Structure 1
Amino acid sequence: MLSFQEFFDACSGVWKSERTYHSMPSGEIERSFTKFHVHRLTDAEAQRLLTPSQTLGIDPQRIEAGSICPGFAIAFDTVSETGEQVAMSLKALFVPDPYVSQAVPGEALVLPVVSEVADGDVIQGFYLRDQGYSEAGAIAGRFTYQPTRQTLEMTTQYKRSVAVDQMRLISPDVRLRTIVTYNRPEPGYPPSDITLIGFGVERK
């Protein structure tokens, strides 16, 4: 069983991913190959992500005093089976709820039913990214980490969709990945209308 910090340490390195995406409305299936380069955030990179996060009520001094807020920087290249290529890089910092004094302003994020957890050891909080996948620009989402399953789940609310990305480390060099995308529901309702499901096996 990996601690919160140990999970991120284990995720550093070069990973190769083979994924299959299922479009729910059309029934189409598409496969892709992705190569990830992952490293832990430096103190300077983490600080840059924290700086614009004052709306979350995060106390940077408290975090600097030794709070566990891990993160990673990712650069990846994806090639689909049709030959389409996408390259992107982003940085993400994970801030547990005890270090956040208030919720994100605006509409609260209601998690999908399948994302609800009852594990007493689970760690929950906000994750801060300098880039989104579906939409450009900095974004804040919710995360849960379950040490007993070595599973990190990230839920991101975009303008038109909600994405749930789950990463489970099943051995030091193998991860399972699932990505579920929903249409964004009306305010106050959990996402339920699935538009895309992706499955992947990632090897270091």
Structure 2
Amino acid sequence: MLNFQDFFTNCAGFWKTERIYHFLLKGDIERSYTEFRADSLDAAQKQQILKTASPSGELAGIRLDLDQAALGHNCPGFAISFDTESERGEKVSMSLKALFVPDALVLHADERYQGLALPAAAQVSTAPESEVIQGFYLRDEGYSEAGAIAGRFTYQPIRQTLEMTTFYSRSVAVDQMRFIAPDVRMRTIVTYQRPPAGETPTVIDLIGFGVERKS
């Protein structure tokens, strides 16, 4: 069983993945192939993300305990660069960094996060015995929309599964990665249409599945 820190250590390396996407609203199916490199963030890279906070420690409506966050080992993360090609020949390349901040280091989160209703695909048990770790993840670049973005994450040690939920302006994405062997991960993504404020996302636009292998 991988603990929180070990999960991110195991993520480092060169990966290859094949995915299939089901666009439910369009009735379409698409396959893609991706090669990507993931590297653990060093202290300087973590500070680059944290330094966007104001002197009061405010970042995207989240106030952090920067003294604790600055210790680094409390906030794992990775830098990713990838190249994807779809079966239709469309190519996408991107690089981004993501930092994962457990709730224990969050002093305050404004109402934009308090009112978010998680879709069914993102709901997990948070009973004390479950040992689920929850928090915010901070990216310097979003997937669906440009610019820095914050989302919610959960990590389930017993399942070795990291799940990231991102509320974009027009959609809600639930992205899950699970280690089933040291060099093999299962990857799923469920994308919903974003409903009006306060409502739970229920309309599924896309479901994707993938197998990732470390070289």
TM-score, normalised to structure 1, is: 0.96
Query: Following superposition of structure 1 onto structure 2, how do residues 1-204 of structure 1 map, counting pairs within 5 Å?
Result: 1-53=1-53, 54=58, 55-65=61-71, 68-106=74-112, 108-119=115-126, 120-204=130-214
Structure 1, residues 70-92: CA drift from partner, whole Å, max 9, x if none?
A: 00000000000011100000000
Q: C-alpha offsets along residues 108-146 of structure 1, whole Å, 9 cap, x if unaligned?
A: 322112311115200000000000000000000000000
Counterpart residue type for residue 183 of structure 2: D
* Shift in Å, 1:185: 0.9
Report the residue type matching 1:91 in the other structure.
Answer: K
Higher mean displacement: 100-109 or 131-140: 100-109
Q: How many pairs were matched up?
A: 204
Distance in 2 (CA, whole Å) between partners of 1:88 and 1:144 is: 24
Query: Structure 1 residues 134, 158: CA separation in 2 closer, same or farther (over 3 Å shift)?
Result: same
RMSD: 1.3
Deviates more, 1:107-116 or 1:190-199: 107-116
Structure 2 spans left out of the alignment, 5+ residues? none
Aligned letter for 2:94?
M
CA distance in 2, matches of 1:178, 1:25: 18
Unaligned runs of 5+ in 1: none
**Cα distance in 1 between the residues matched to 2:34 and 2:72:** 34
SS in 2 for 1:61: helix
Contact between 2:47 and 2:70, CA under 8 Å: does it hold in 1? no
Amino acid aligned to 1:90: L
- Cα distance in 1, alignment partners of residues 51 and 200 from structure 2: 30
Shift of residue 105, structure 1, vs aligned partner: 4.8
